[in-house]
Structure 1
């Protein structure tokens, strides 16, 4: 590889490190080369497993997310604190949709102890299981293809089912949180989350600070569609500005 190309590759990686998701045109403008050159560079970096190609651009490759059973062991205190702040915001709701994930299971567990006579629609078996602790909560389980690693169902059948329902709130987790929006490591989960958001009046994202400035493969929303972010640390820089610009309320949990 020529020194010029090597320097260009390093510059692309540096740019993606600052701006987790960039389009070909943006990179071409910053590096002052043609779009064709950038496309070739991105293909080579993708072959080296350094980046992932997206539609019209690229993101830095992130370590694959651990399966749900392993994630439950991480950041337990943070997730519990987030759930403690999140649940009071849901009081008064009659119908709540809840996505899969370690943090949302913590939220569901707290719902079971703090809220009565509510209907919860979910595709997560973990969420459904902890809600069963409260007999006044009606749980509606979405159908679909079962993903054992996530303990949840996904797919076209799940999306069709959810598209016929409505909710007051939807509560979702995220694998990544950037200035452009929340994202998930599983494309099939992102499809479910988009549908849940479209069928709910208000949307809450629950995620601890380790997800900040991480871009997962499937972005499922823009911040303009999100009402609040419940987290354990204040976001900074571009993420903070984006949340402010889109009037996303930040609810801070303390340990």
Structure 2
């Protein structure tokens, strides 16, 4: 039997939890042909990313309303998210007006734009995004007002939404914690409202997600797939999700 790589094992664990609320470490170890300690390390890694929760004897599905703070997310899957950020930056042309929401992958976009972009006006609710963009002296950066949420290093609330509603943009770039055939999903309800507003105010919206977000359903659906112009990601989505994106005329850009 060919042993699965670590990433493949972890994806199989998450797939199993989409079908069953709890999985046992011993059962997974037998299936994968590895030690229970190896599976425990996989579970620990996935738990640290907020993708599941550890349970007695195994793992359980993560609550729909929970996600790790920005600082933890920003350290996970850095290589994949950096590729996505650079690939998304290639879509931007000099002189455009952008809206960029708060998130670990949009932070990587900001780093990519700072290296290659010119003469952009960018509105964001993220301190991390604004700081990264500030490295480029040709940018006009507009930081939204609002209520500061420390774990997200960003501002949210009625003032943020009202402020964004006064502006228009060529493109919005947003992240999310999940993407299903139903649409974009997220656990942070304050962030959901910001994403919806940015989508409404932009001529086109690109979603930036790595493959771990595929088929992850969380507490809120931000918008249906039809509201997206494209998805920038590191791997082809699973067949059913890919077909749903095609039906909605959503471009898939692989990093």
**TM-score, normalised to structure 2's length?**
0.75
Is the Cα–Cα contact under 8 Å of residues 86 and 107 in structure 1 kept in the other structure?
Answer: yes
1 CA distance for matches of 2:80 and 2:200?
A: 28
Structure 1: stretches of 5+ with no match in the other structure: 1-13, 19-58
2 CA distance for matches of 1:189 and 1:237?
A: 28
Structure 2: stretches of 5+ with no match in the other structure: 1-15, 21-60
Q: In 2 relative to 1, CA 143–233 (structure 1 residues): closer, same or farther, beyond 3 Å?
A: same
Q: Rg: which structure is higher?
A: 1
Alignment match, 2:104: 102
Q: 3-state DSSP class of the match of 2:90? A: helix
Alignment match, 1:207: 209
1 CA distance for matches of 2:63 and 2:146?
A: 29
2 CA distance for matches of 1:109 and 1:143?
A: 22
Which consecutive segments of 4 or more residues in structure 1 shift more than 2 A? 59-64
Whether 2:116 is the aligned partner of 1:131: answer no
Q: 3-state DSSP class of the match of 1:201? A: strand
How many residues in Structure 1 have an aligned counterpart in Structure 2? 201
Pick from 165, 172, 175: which aligns with 1:173?
A: 175
2 CA distance for matches of 1:193 and 1:202?
A: 13
CA RMSD for the aligned pairs?
2.1
- After superposition, the C-alpha distances for 1:67-116 in whole angstroms (9 at most, x for unaligned) are 10011110000001111211111124520000000000000111011111
**TM-score, normalised to structure 1's length?**
0.75
Q: In 2 relative to 1, CA 80–139 (structure 1 residues): closer, same or farther, beyond 3 Å?
A: same
Shift of 1:17: 4.1
